[in-house]
Structure 1
């Protein structure tokens, strides 16, 4: 099945408003779309449109941490307590026992604040519409996590936790003396000329041409109403999910990262040192490194990158180990949570040897 056919089926069979995919292979670029950018119109989804990329933000965060490690500003074996003294303490937590490496590899044991009962009510229930403009500080998000006991002792397990990357963003700010947004701009966006990519911070609207984003408010019925949630306050994402970008900018970023043009070899090797995710946990079947995951496609190709979900969007960004071929895909709806069959199907078509 071709990528175009898969995109069409996502709209006609799974009910997504629209889906896009972009594949870059050396100097060649292919873009395809199906459906619409805005329900109730015939406006096609286009390559230049922006969308919220969710947890793909984590790879940007990890890249900056590894750059700082290469510059000896910090070490991956530094403790959270060293950089954020007193923040991780009480209720079974000890920042002296959690390292930056634990954060980037999801092995800290810190509870995911997004799984807190109140946060699930705000963002993963029909109450979303009343809470999508709630504003948060990173410290408030960490406090929610610390109200829960650790999932396990640091380094003794794996649990995908957005708390890890909120802390990583705070460490970046403490280590550089700059805001997280400014550091990402200075170290990644400007050097790569990613002119359509930025961090939302407190902006609730997207700056440039963009797709609209839709949510069924976690209702499972196929005919559940899809609500336009394009405008929202993304401060609950911070360094774990706040980024806005395009397929083209994301493809450039991952190609440059995997191609060794953002990190020295030693740090890139650290990032790409993968450990299989334990059976029965989130991302079962994947492996995780430092802010980057990998899995093997049915065609036999192992790809490296990250997925991302935020209210109204699902995205995947993966490439070959050397970054020579990269594929990006996004749906502007947040149901079928997540579409873990749909996206690998697109990637498999993109990375087949004859593609």
Structure 2
């Protein structure tokens, strides 16, 4: 059976799915791979290369840095502790971590606000990578092997001007909040957040190729990961070897498209958290994402509505050079996980806005085909 395309379902149209993958590759992504599930049937495919220098082909089973998809895992771990009575969603974070989040903020910001990005604590990334504020990629290379400590990142966020008042909507997306949640998990469980999530979320879901990396290298088959940084890095540079300590609780996981589909299927079926917790996770508010778009966000979950196709739950994620999208229809029957190995490909125009690029349209076509059997489906922007 070919490595780049497999199907166990006569009802899928493998040719259309493979054509959509090829379209993303032709538009400029070196390598793209995906798994689509429908009512227990599975299709996997890949197009392009994992290494532009050698021409090594990308494969559907490759591991990927999945970025902010990690947030769903962290949120599920927190909700497990809510179920056990060790964490109260609407309790001030200062009740648990008074020295980490002191003073008025500690009294006003609740656990829920950290989960749904309404804490008002700004994202720390621009301070961990200061050259980004001057449109320079220098910090990316300077931080490649740097070991950040969570408290260091949290202090960066707390020291910056607030992004808003605690509890105000729309929320403002913040990786810093998830670093705080990692410290909260450590406080109430007596073990590291990585260990707790591994044992109680990843292993409970039966995931075989998902985990927090022990160092800067990914174990197992994976692609190189090419970062263009809006044209500042030309040609795009491989950042597949990278210490993810700068955002571990919010974006540090490595996984596969197969594992991601399995995880979201289990989560939405009440197998990772109970139905009451899942209902809390699916209570959404508008949140301003890091790219400036507005998304419907719950507790570690995105809500994506596609007209004529349904409501989907999941998350997207990026790391330097890697992009991943995983969505599952509300009934759990249709799933899609897609991985690409090039990020921030669009150069800005004279006003500083990202120019439209054929890659965006090709990805929309792929998402529409994968989720709705319709490459023309109106998949909202921001996905």
Q: Is the 8 A contact 2:82 2:89 kept in 1?
A: yes
Partner of 1:3: 17
Gaps of 5+ in 1: none
Distance, in Å, in 1 between the alignment partners of 2:199 and 2:95 is 25
Q: Give the match for residue 121 of structure 1.
A: 132
Task: Answer whether contact 2:64 2:223 (CA < 8 A) is retained.
Answer: yes
Residue 262 of structure 1, CA deviation: 1.1
| Structure 2: tracts of 5 or more residues without a match | 1-14, 347-353, 376-383
Alignment of 1:212-291 (within 5 A): 212-219=224-231, 224-277=234-287, 282-284=292-294, 286-291=295-300
- 1:328 aligned to 2:337? yes
- Report SS of the residue matched to 2:172: coil
- C-alpha contact 1:54 1:242 (8 A) present in aligned 2: yes
Is 2:316 the counterpart of 1:307?
Answer: yes
SS in 2 for 1:2: helix
**2: CA distance between counterparts of 1:144 and 1:354?**
44
Deviations 1:183-211, CA, capped at 9 Å, x for gaps: 0111022222212111024x111111111
2:5 aligns with: none
| Alpha-carbon spacing, 1:53–1:125, altered in 2? closer, same or farther (3 Å) | farther
Question: C-alpha offsets along residues 130-158 of structure 1, whole Å, 9 cap, x if unaligned?
Answer: 32222101100011111212111100121
- How far apart in 1 are the matches of 2:123 and 2:367? 28
**TM-score calculated relative to the size of structure 2:** 0.84
Structure 1 residues 123 and 6, CA gap change in structure 2 (3 angstroms): farther
Farther off after superposition, 294-303 or 154-163: 294-303
Cα distance change, pair 55–119 in 1 and its aligned pair in 2 (3 A): farther
Query: 1:192 pairs with 205, 228, 248, which one?
Result: 205
Q: Is the 8 A contact 1:125 1:218 kept in 2?
A: no
Aligned to 1:106: 117
**Which residue in 2 is equivalent to 1:57?**
70
Deviations along 1:159-204, whole A, 9 cap, x unmatched?
A: 0111111111111111100111110111022222212111024x11
Partner of 1:135: 147
**CA separation in 1, counterparts of 2:287 and 2:360?**
15
Q: Give the direction of change, closer, same or farther, for the CA distance of 1:134–1:98 in structure 2 (3 Å limit).
A: same
Distance 2:75 2:128 in 1: 28
Q: Once the 2 structures are TM-superposed, how far is the Cα of residue 86 of structure 1 from its aligned partner?
A: 1.8
Mapping for residues 25-64 of structure 1, pairs under 5 Å: 25-64=38-77
Contact 1:314-1:334 at 8 Å conserved across structures = yes
Question: Quick one: structure 1 residues 280 and 34, their matched pair in 2 at CA, closer, same or farther if it must change by over 3 Å?
Answer: closer
In 2, distance between residues paired with 1:45 and 1:139? Answer: 37
- Helix, strand or coil: the match of 2:337? strand
**In structure 1, C-alpha distance between the alignment counterparts of 2:246 and 2:203, rounded to whole Å:** 25
Counterpart secondary structure, 2:342: coil
Q: Is the 8 A contact 2:128 2:153 kept in 1?
A: no
CA separation of 1:248 and 1:122: change in aligned 2, threshold 3 A? farther
Does the alignment pair 1:154 with 2:166?
yes
Q: Give the drift of 1:300.
A: 3.4
Equivalent residue for 2:91?
Answer: 78
| Structure 2 equivalent of residue 94 of structure 1 | 105
Q: Distance in 2 between matches of 1:5 and 1:274?
A: 34
Q: Secondary structure at the match of 1:296?
A: strand
* Cα distance per residue 1:283-328 (max 9 Å; x no partner): 42x3111100112225432211101011110111111113222110
8 A Cα contact 1:111 1:151, kept in partner: yes
Q: CA deviation at 1:43?
A: 2.2
